[in-house]
Amino acid sequence: MDSRRLRNIFGQFASGVTVITCAKQDGTPHGATVTAFTAVSLEPRLCQVTLTRTSKACSFLSGAPFAVNILAADQTDVALHFAGRPQSPEPVWVQGPTAPVLAGSAATLSCVPWREYDGGDHVIFIGEIVDAQCRETDPLLFYRSTFHDLGAPSGNAAWNGSMDDPHRGWFDATATFTPMHLSGATN
């Protein structure tokens, strides 16, 4: 399978859009648009970003505090700017708790380095979240190499109001189950 085909297959997975920011050794802020972001753990509070090994951002991030700026739906210009297509006016920087952050993001996670792993042609960075900020706004999405917004909410969402919702805890640690064939139940 060639890399273009695999990239297209990966593009079938819609993701949020982030800009990973840090300070370079001289203190100037740097950012890179990244869709390879995920939550890892609630305790300890960890998240993961994956950057191309040959990118400038990858060399700046090694061992450095960083921030994950989850972009808002109206920040396509910010995503393009940090993907190598400079925009005017430039995005607005604000000093965050661990690293420079971007004004107007839907959410920001300020991190200190936790672990770094070899990811083939990428490097996997795990950050410990020391501060989190969130605004009530929709996120920017990326799907099939194009930016999108959430669109209208669906009343048919799988967990919408369901007692099966994993966040409601329908079954707790004390729940027990008896297989039907042992319970004497008949169809």
| Furthest CA-CA distance within the chain | 74
- Residue 65 sits in a domain whose CATH number is 2.30.110.10
More confident site: 99 or 178: 99
**Cβ burial, residue 37 (10 Å; 0-12/13-18/19+):** middle
Question: What's the CA gap between 89 and 119, in Å, rounded?
Answer: 35
- For residue 71, what are the CA distances in angstroms to 19, 84, 156? 7, 16, 26
Look at residue 29 and tell me if it is in a domain: yes
Instruction: State residue 139's pLDDT score.
Output: 95
What does the pLDDT look like over 37-57, one tens digit per residue? 999 999 999 999 999 999 888
Do residues 161 and 75 lie in contact, with contact meaning Cβ atoms separated by under 8 Å? Answer: no
- Predicted local distance difference test score (pLDDT) of residue 185: 60
Domains contained in the chain, number? 1
Whether the pLDDT of residue 94 is over 80: the answer is yes
**What is the spatial distance between Cα 78 and Cα 101, in angstroms, rounded to a whole number?**
12
Residue 41 lies in a domain: yes
Cβ atoms of 22 and 100 within 8 Å: the answer is yes
The domain in which residue 144 lies consists of: 17-149
| CB contact at 8 A, 83 and 34 | no
Domain annotation covers residue 111:
yes
- Rounded to two decimals, what is the model's pTM? 0.79
133-158 pLDDT per residue, tens: 999 999 999 888 888 888 777 665 55
Which tens digits make up the pLDDT trace of 76-86?
Answer: 999 999 999 99
Check the CA dihedral 13-14-17-18 and report its sign.
negative
119 located within any domain: yes
